[in-house]
């Protein structure tokens, strides 16, 4: 059996509709400055809309999103993204996890805005026996794939975008990987922050997963329970690596709304044949046509029909 799973991330949708100035008397003021200088020019909601339509047009079996759906964690942003997603995906066709921008300020976390708006896409198909935590989320797709979604989003000070996977989640991850319902299925793990450092990136130590080593240790369980694929976002560019000490592919997807000719919006498609990852497609935005064109991992145009 062949399954195709689309993966997008880091849409950074902005909406200030009805937002009063007092809502910026917190960490949001730094985000607003960043918007004025950078993000509002480079991250475009219309490209994200085209990306969602491209995923739907492909007719994939499922889609996953690894966070940063919104920009400043304002209610109008969540409402806009919810409308875009729910008009294209039924609850059983999309799984999401939050990123640091979805938890941008403490009030958004306290009000559980991400969970309130995207609860339909936060499944719990496997009972992990954990109390008081919604994560990891778990999804079984067509009896072939089990998705395990982690939340690395945490409250952070101004100018910091770090993430962390808490002890309860780490325990849940280990339970999920070893669970009888995950046995003999393709195991796909989602999170927002990268597992590996990116020294070339400016201020990388302020944008990292602070307990990445503990997460890697949990993923390096006995071979019979290891994930077959780990995917994330956060750094807005495609990268293919492996989980240290294993042969498990570790795939970073680019931003889903990035404008421009140099770093363009993308989404990935993972092709799983008989519970094995057989191909990774990068669908890259063409600014001239507005279409998303399939490429291989090296960025070369790909004839999907012929490759299939």
Query: Which residues 6+ apart lie within 8 Å of 229 measured at CB?
Result: 186, 187, 188, 189, 248, 249, 251, 270, 277
- Which sequence spans correspond to the domains of the chain? 2-307
What class is the 2-307 domain? Answer: alpha beta
- Among 37-41, 202-206, 209-213, the least confident range: 37-41
pLDDT for 104-151, tens place per residue? 888 889 999 999 999 999 999 999 999 878 999 999 999 999 999 999
Burial 257-271 (b: 16+ CB within 10 A, else e): bbbeeeebbbbbbbb
Instruction: Determine the Cα–Cα distance for residues 148 and 187; give it in Å rounded to an integer.
Output: 7
Q: Got the DSSP string for 119-153?
A: GGG--B-S----SS---SEEEEETTTEEEEE----
> What phi and psi values does residue 61 have, to the nearest 5 degrees?
-80, -25
Q: Are 249 and 3 in contact (CB under 8 A)?
A: no
pTM: predicted TM-score of the whole model, two decimal places: 0.92
- What does the pLDDT read at residue 25? 46
pLDDT for 33-75, tens place per residue? 454 445 545 789 999 999 999 999 999 999 999 999 999 899 9
Q: Which residue has the higher pLDDT, 303 or 60?
A: 60
């Amino acid at each position: 059996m062949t399954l195709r799973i689309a993966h997008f991330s880091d849409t950074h949708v902005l909406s200030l509709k009805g937002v009063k100035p007092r809502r910026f008397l917190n960490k949001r003021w730094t985000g607003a400055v960043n918007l004025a200088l950078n993000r509002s020019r480079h991250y475009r909601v219309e490209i994200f809309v085209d990306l969602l339509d491209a995923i739907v047009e492909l007719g994939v079996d499922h889609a996953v999103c690894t966070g940063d759906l919104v920009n400043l964690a304002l209610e109008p942003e969540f409402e806009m993204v919810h409308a875009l997603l729910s008009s294209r995906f039924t609850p059983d066709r999309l799984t999401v996890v939050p990123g640091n921008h979805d938890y941008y300020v403490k009030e958004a976390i306290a009000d559980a805005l991400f969970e309130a708006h995207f609860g339909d896409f936060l499944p719990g198909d496997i009972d992990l026996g954990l109390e008081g935590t919604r994560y990891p989320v778990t999804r079984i797709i067509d009896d072939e794939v089990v998705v395990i979604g982690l939340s690395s989003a945490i409250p952070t000070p101004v100018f910091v975008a770090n993430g962390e996977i808490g002890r309860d989640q780490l325990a849940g991850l280990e339970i999920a990987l070893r669970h009888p319902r995950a046995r003999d299925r393709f195991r796909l793990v989602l999170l927002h922050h990268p597992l590996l450092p990116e020294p070339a990136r400016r201020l990388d130590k302020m944008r990292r997963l602070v307990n990445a080593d503990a997460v890697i240790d949990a993923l390096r369980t006995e071979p019979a329970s290891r994930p077959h694929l780990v995917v994330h976002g956060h750094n807005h560019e495609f990268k293919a690596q492996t989980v240290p000490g294993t042969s498990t592919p570790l795939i970073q997807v680019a931003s889903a709304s990035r404008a421009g000719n140099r770093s363009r919006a993308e989404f990935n498609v993972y092709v799983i044949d008989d519970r094995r990852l057989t191909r990774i497609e990068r669908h890259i935005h063409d600014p001239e046509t507005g279409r998303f064109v399939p490429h291989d991992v090296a960025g070369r145009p790909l004839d999907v029909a012929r490759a299939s």
